[in-house]
Structure 1
Amino acid sequence: MSLDPAPTPFPTVPVTLTVNGHRHQLDVPPFVTLLDLLRGRLELNGTKKGCDHGQCGACTVLVDGVRINSCLKLAVSLDDCEITTIEGLGTPDNLHPLQKAFVERDAYQCGYCTPGQICSAAGMISEGHAKTREEIRELMSGNLCRCGAYTNIVDAIEDVMGADQHAVHREAAE
């Protein structure tokens, strides 16, 4: 009597990713999203799974400095990329300016969307397109907040953008 062979595991693809400054060489099934890799295999649970369809922004991370919805990106497509999650932006002892501003402005309410909001805001600020409150709102419109903390979120982003602009003006004056 013969037994059926064990099921064959899914084929994998070798991928090298730098996540929050740490280099990882991984073998990943081709259908695994960056979000599932971050939360599952790498145990970085700051990035949230919201809609899993790219409509809420809870899973926003930075890939080579550009904000993306990690639920829509296959991990194997990011070979040799640098990924920054909320855990890579700051630590409890050394918060990123956006993290500080979110706390000061009470822009986190329940907190579920906050990691995606902060990563998206960091990417948006780096893009340099937002100059007004209305532009911030438009450029952050892919990140939803069920608590409705939008006014506080925009206030926090404006605080950081204002601080960045003051720093640029100080450097130019020196």
Structure 2
Amino acid sequence: MLIESGSPVAADTRVGISLTINGQRRDLQVAPWTTLLDLLREHLDLTGTKKGCDHGQCGACTVLVNGTRVNSCLALAVMKDGAEITTVEGLAALSGEGRNSLHPIQEAFIEHDAFQCGYCTPGQLCSSVGLMNEGHAKSRDEIREAMSGNICRCGAYTNIVDAIEDVMGQGGGR
């Protein structure tokens, strides 16, 4: 369904989209103004992705869209039609070891105690995988800069960078 620019949109308007979420194809009907974050949390019960600032400033809502980091609070679900979405719940599947295993970055976060309260952890994990997919960060300073969009109120930054360096040193995060 196309919605013409400037035309009023009824409150009950729904648009059909298809997303592959954590490896599972989903055909969905959503309101045109539904954010990807609200779709994941409120409609699909994937609550690992957190709603922090709801303005794209804290990174708690970071997910992977076609392998790239995206603040899901700023992305309309209809704009991601046809995309492959990976949330923190789907990271284990990226490991290649199956659903019951952890992704290497999840294992490294545990090993390096890279989380404290855990609220930012899902966004930090997804952003870490996206950072490794991008392949731009090579040094500790570059990792810190590339992760600067993810806020940790507990101050676990040093451990987060240690975890990312560890996984990168082992060949990346797949």
Fold-level similarity (TM above 0.5): yes
**AA paired with 2:89?**
E
Q: CA deviation at 1:9?
A: 4.9
Alignment of 1:97-116 (within 5 A): 97-116=104-123
Alignment partner, residue 30 of structure 1: 32
Q: CA deviation at 1:90?
A: 1.3
Q: CA–CA distance in 1 between the matches of 2:40 and 2:100?
A: 23
TM-score (norm 2): 0.88
TM-score (norm 1): 0.88
Q: CA–CA distance in 2 between the matches of 1:10 and 1:60?
A: 28
**AA paired with 2:73?**
C
Alignment partner, residue 85 of structure 1: 87
> Any gaps of 5 or more consecutive residues in structure 1?
1-7, 166-174
Alignment of 1:155-174 (within 5 A): 155-164=162-171
Q: CA–CA distance in 2 between the matches of 1:48 and 1:134?
A: 26
**1:145-166 CA-partner distances (Å, limit 9, x unpaired):** 000000000000000000116x
**1:2-35 CA-partner distances (Å, limit 9, x unpaired):** xxxxxx7520100000000011111100010000
Query: Runs in 1 of length 4+ with deviation above 6 angstroms?
Result: none
Alignment partner, residue 150 of structure 1: 157
Partner residue of 1:122 out of 129, 151, 156: 129
Instruction: Please state whether the residue corresponding to 2:70 is helix, strand or coil.
Output: strand
Q: CA–CA distance in 1 between the matches of 2:81 and 2:137?
A: 30
**AA paired with 2:129?**
A
Alignment partner, residue 6 of structure 2: none
**AA paired with 1:96?**
H
**AA paired with 1:55?**
Q
Alignment partner, residue 71 of structure 1: 73
Q: CA–CA distance in 2 between the matches of 1:93 and 1:34?
A: 25
Partner residue of 2:144 out of 137, 147, 154: 137
Fraction of identical pairs, as percent:
67
Report the structure, 1 or 2, having the larger helix content.
1
Q: CA–CA distance in 2 between the matches of 1:93 and 1:106?
A: 21
Q: Count residues in correspondence.
A: 158
**1:92-116 CA-partner distances (Å, limit 9, x unpaired):** 8300000000000000110000000
Alignment partner, residue 5 of structure 1: none
**AA paired with 1:152?**
N
Q: CA–CA distance in 2 between the matches of 1:48 and 1:142?
A: 14
